[in-house]
Amino acid sequence: GAVVSQHPSWVICKSGTSVKIECRSLDFQATTMFWYRQFPKQSLMLMATSNEGSKATYEQGVEKDKFLINHASLTLSTLTVTSAHPEDSSFYICSAREGTGSGETQYFGPGTRLLVL
């Protein structure tokens, strides 16, 4: 299957700082990528849909000014957690969409664990 990478795999930062997480599709082009967060022992919750060359679409309840998404190329989307606080500590997972219609599949990155002190 297709490969999606994330960097960094884990990050620890101080409260008030900003953290950038990269999501890359390594062997295919993805016009659409997705950002999820996963709290311990819970399922994935979609945060936003990242579209190449346009603004991201955020799910209800997700602060777009806090979670900045940039999808500058067909293989890279970035999520920046601005002014991070301890409650932002979570496992962030991106996915990239490959194919269209019935053949469409989302491939997930390995995740980034964020700990805000």
Partner 1 sequence: AQSVTQLGSHVSVSEGALVLLRCNYSSSVPPYLFWYVQYPNQGLQLLLKYTSAATLVKGINGFEAEFKKSETSFHLTKPSAHMSDAAEYFCAVRRGINKFYFGSGTKLNVKP
Cβ count near 48 (within 10 Å):
21
Q: Does 58 bind partner 1 (CB under 8 A)?
A: no
Considering beta carbons, is residue 44 or 62 the nearer one to partner 1? 44
SS (H, E, C) 8-65: CCEEEECCCCCEEEEEEECCCCCCEEEEEEECCCCCEEEEEEEECCCCCEECCCCCCC
Region of 53 on the Ramachandran plot (φ > 0 left; ψ -120 to 50 alpha; else beta): left
Considering beta carbons, is residue 89 or 106 the nearer one to partner 1? 106
Q: Does 77 bind partner 1 (CB under 8 A)?
A: no
Minimum Å gap between C-beta 39 and partner 1 is 12
Considering beta carbons, is residue 14 or 41 the nearer one to partner 1? 41
| Interface contacts to partner 1, rule CB under 8 A | 1, 4, 6, 32, 34, 42-44, 46, 49, 57, 93, 95, 102-111, 113
